[in-house]
């Protein structure tokens, strides 16, 4: 099948969970279909060498990169009241327009009629369905059911309620224009169906067959935290865990190694706690994981399968995480994961494996085996063909 793929996040370099899923999905699809990728550049220009590298990784598939800054209207130059008025008029949050690359739209419309189907690869790219969906059947690949993750609880400020209303309306409209929607977990599928009355396809996030680089039995009492600090649920969870539960572990000589790009000032302030080290972006992640006895994933918000959880488990580390961190991964507490939903219990779970190298090794080994069995792309990618077939049937029925 000939597939046109559209994304607002160029898949290289691989330095965030979203692009990890995107790159893995692209590589898996390239082994089954004929691809052509149109990608918006990152904030900085994407060099030609990275474009060529991505094409090589996709078996020589055409890859085109487009300028990052080409919004239909630049909300940064519009007064706040006028921006909200336009958002309400258009029934969409302002960031959907900021994300649009006009040259990418023009190229997609020129190519679309010669393709069997198109896929949007990140949540902001769904806006292209509104602009190109009349020419080719679309599959929306959702990392996040946005209207659920931004749901409004009592007492939230009116501005946040309005933003939620705009997101939900825009999301409902885009998924109604697509022939199929893909989500990453059964939990997300239930949320999506509750909101929109449509049944999505579940294609879990996955990773390439992982190397078991960790040796928890031999490693020092080091714990790794891994994540993108620009994603608020990551940082909020880290701060909550570290401030409420880390100090007793650090005082016994354990170290918390915090890895990830662009740590905030608040995160850097955690270095005042005993045993905490702020590493920033780590080039050789395998080497870091190899020196740790355990990992922690304190996430209380968010949805879908977390790429960092897959990577940590795949490396052979015992992971202490919340139920949110393990969403979509059928872990058994104490067997292939350590599940706890408050900071104190996360700390207690870590203390057990830090003090018992044999248990740490056993849980890490079982975690690796689960990822190999259930969360590699070679086992997952066949599910995408069902979504593509559904999208094509949808378009034919509309003609």
High-pLDDT (> 70) share of the chain, %: 93
Residues 131, 48, single domain; the answer is: yes
Is residue 350 within a helix (H) or strand (E), and if so which, with residue range? helix 343-355
Q: How far apart are CA 115 and CA 386, in angstroms?
A: 17
- Report residue 82 as tokens: 């006028």
| Tokens encoding 298 | 């304190």
Using the structure block, give the residue that is written with the tokens 């969970």.
Answer: 17
pLDDT exceeds cutoff 60 at 397:
no
What pLDDT score was predicted for residue 68?
75
Q: Predicted confidence band at 387 (pLDDT cuts at 50, 70, 90)?
A: very high
Do both 148 and 13 map to the same domain? yes
Residues 394 and 312 in one domain: no
Residue 211 lies in a domain: no
pLDDT of residue 164: 83
Mean pLDDT of all residues belonging to the chain = 91
Task: Report phi then psi at 251, rounded to 5.
Answer: -70, -15
Rounded CA separation 222/288 (Å): 10
Tell me if 329 is assigned to some domain. Answer: yes
Please say whether the beta carbons of 5 and 36 come within 8 A: yes
383 and 364 belong to one structural domain: no
Residues 320 and 198 in one domain: no
Q: Is residue 238, in this structure, part of any structural domain at all?
A: yes
Determine the pLDDT at residue 94: 82
| Domain CATH code at residue 367 | 3.40.50.2000
**Domain match, 182 and 33 both:** yes
Token readout for 322 is 């919340």
Instruction: Please classify residue 128 by burial: count the beta carbons closer than 10 Å to its beta carbon, then call 0-12 exposed, 13-18 middle and 19+ buried.
Output: buried
Query: Model confidence at 17, in pLDDT bands (50, 70, 90)?
Result: confident
First-to-last C-alpha distance (Å) of the chain: 20
pLDDT of residue 89: 77
* Domain co-membership, 101 together with 154: yes
Q: Is the pLDDT of residue 326 over 60?
A: yes
The secondary structure of 211-258 as a DSSP string is P----TTTS-SEEEEE--TTSHHHHHHHHHHIIIIIHHHHTTT-EEEE
Q: How confident is the model at residue 399 (pLDDT cuts 50, 70, 90)?
A: very low
CA torsion through residues 34, 144, 172, 70, sign? negative
**pLDDT tens track for 177-220:** 999 999 999 999 999 999 999 999 999 999 999 999 999 999 99
Does the pLDDT value for residue 107 go beyond 80?
A: yes
Phi, psi of 173 (to 5 degrees): -65, -45
User: Is there a domain that residue 30 lies in?
Assistant: yes
Nearest to 99 by CA among 79, 120, 69: 69
Q: Assess if residue 157 is contained within a domain.
A: yes
Q: Is the predicted pLDDT of residue 337 greater than 70, yes or no?
A: yes
By residue range, what is the domain housing residue 282?
Answer: 222-375
Cα separation, 197 vs 138, in Å, equals 18
Whether 212 is covered by a domain: the verdict is: no
Whether omega before 13 lies within 30 degrees of 0, making that bond cis, reads yes
Predicted confidence at residue 99, as pLDDT, reads 86
Q: Which residue has the tokens 């830090």?
A: 354
Asked whether residue 201 falls in the same domain as residue 246, the answer is: no
In the structure encoding, which two tokens stand for residue 329, read together? Answer: 């991964």
DSSP assignment letter at 382: T
Q: Is the pLDDT of residue 382 over 80?
A: yes
**Which has more pLDDT, 88 or 385?**
385
Q: What's the CA gap between 108 and 64, in Å, rounded?
A: 11
77 with 186, same domain: the answer is yes
- The model scores a pTM over 0.95: no
Question: Same structural domain for residues 91 and 133?
Answer: yes
User: Is the residue at 145 inside a domain?
Assistant: yes
378 contacts: CB under 8 Å, gap ≥ 6: 28, 209
At residue 153, the pLDDT reads 45
The total of structural domains in the chain comes to 2
Q: What is the pLDDT of residue 12?
A: 93
pLDDT tens digits, one per residue of 112-132:
999 999 999 999 999 999 999
Query: What are the tens digits of pLDDT across the range 261-304?
Result: 899 999 999 999 999 999 999 989 999 999 999 999 999 988 88
Does one domain contain both 305 and 345? yes
Residue 190 shares a structural domain with residue 319: no
353 is written with which tokens?
């494996």
Distances (CA, A) of 292 to 213, 225, 344, 364: 10, 10, 21, 11
Q: Does a structural domain hold residue 217?
A: no
Instruction: Determine the pLDDT at residue 19.
Output: 87
Q: How confident is the model at residue 97 (pLDDT cuts 50, 70, 90)?
A: confident
For 247-262, give the DSSP string: HHHHTTT-EEEEE-SS
- Whether residue 17 contacts residue 308, with contact meaning beta carbons closer than 8 Å, is answered with yes
């Amino acid at each position: 099948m000939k597939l046109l793929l559209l994304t607002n996040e160029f898949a290289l370099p691989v330095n965030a969970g979203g692009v990890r899923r995107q790159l893995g999905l692209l590589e898996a699809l390239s082994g089954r279909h004929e691809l052509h990728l149109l990608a918006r550049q990152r904030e900085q220009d994407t060099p030609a060498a990275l474009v060529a590298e991505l094409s090589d990784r996709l078996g020589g598939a055409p890859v085109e990169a487009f300028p990052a800054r080409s919004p239909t209207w630049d909300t940064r130059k519009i007064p706040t009241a006028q921006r909200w008025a336009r958002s309400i008029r258009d029934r969409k949050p302002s960031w959907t327009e900021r994300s649009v690359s006009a040259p990418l739209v023009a190229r997609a419309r020129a190519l679309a009629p010669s393709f069997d189907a198109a896929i949007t690869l990140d949540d902001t790219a769904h806006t292209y369905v509104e602009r190109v969906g009349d020419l080719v059947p679309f599959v929306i690949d959702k990392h996040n059911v946005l209207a659920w993750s931004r749901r409004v609880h009592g007492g939230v400020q009116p501005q946040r309620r309005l933003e939620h209303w705009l997101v939900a309306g825009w999301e409902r409209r885009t998924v109604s224009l697509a022939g199929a929607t893909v989500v990453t977990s059964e939990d997300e599928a239930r949320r999506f169906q509750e909101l929109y009355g449509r049944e999505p396809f579940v294609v879990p996030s996955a990773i390439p067959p992982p190397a078991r680089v960790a040796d928890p039995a031999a490693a020092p009492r080091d714990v790794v935290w891994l994540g993108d600090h620009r994603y608020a649920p990551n940082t909020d969870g880290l701060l909550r865990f570290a401030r409420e539960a880390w100090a007793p572990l650090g005082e016994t000589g354990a170290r918390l190694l915090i890895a990830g790009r662009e740590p905030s000032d608040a995160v850097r302030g955690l270095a005042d706690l005993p045993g905490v080290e702020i590493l920033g972006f780590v080039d050789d992640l395998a080497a870091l994981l190899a020196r740790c006895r355990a990992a922690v994933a304190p996430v209380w918000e968010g949805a879908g399968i977390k790429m960092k959880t897959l990577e940590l488990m795949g490396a052979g580390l015992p992971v202490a995480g919340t139920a949110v961190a393990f969403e979509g991964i059928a872990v058994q507490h104490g067997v292939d994961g350590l599940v706890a939903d408050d900071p104190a219990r996360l700390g207690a779970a870590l203390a057990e494996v830090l003090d018992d190298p044999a248990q740490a090794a056993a849980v890490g080994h079982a975690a690796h085996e689960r990822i190999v069995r259930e969360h590699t792309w070679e086992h997952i990618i066949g599910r995408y063909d069902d979504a593509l077939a559904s999208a094509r049937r949808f378009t034919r029925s509309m003609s």
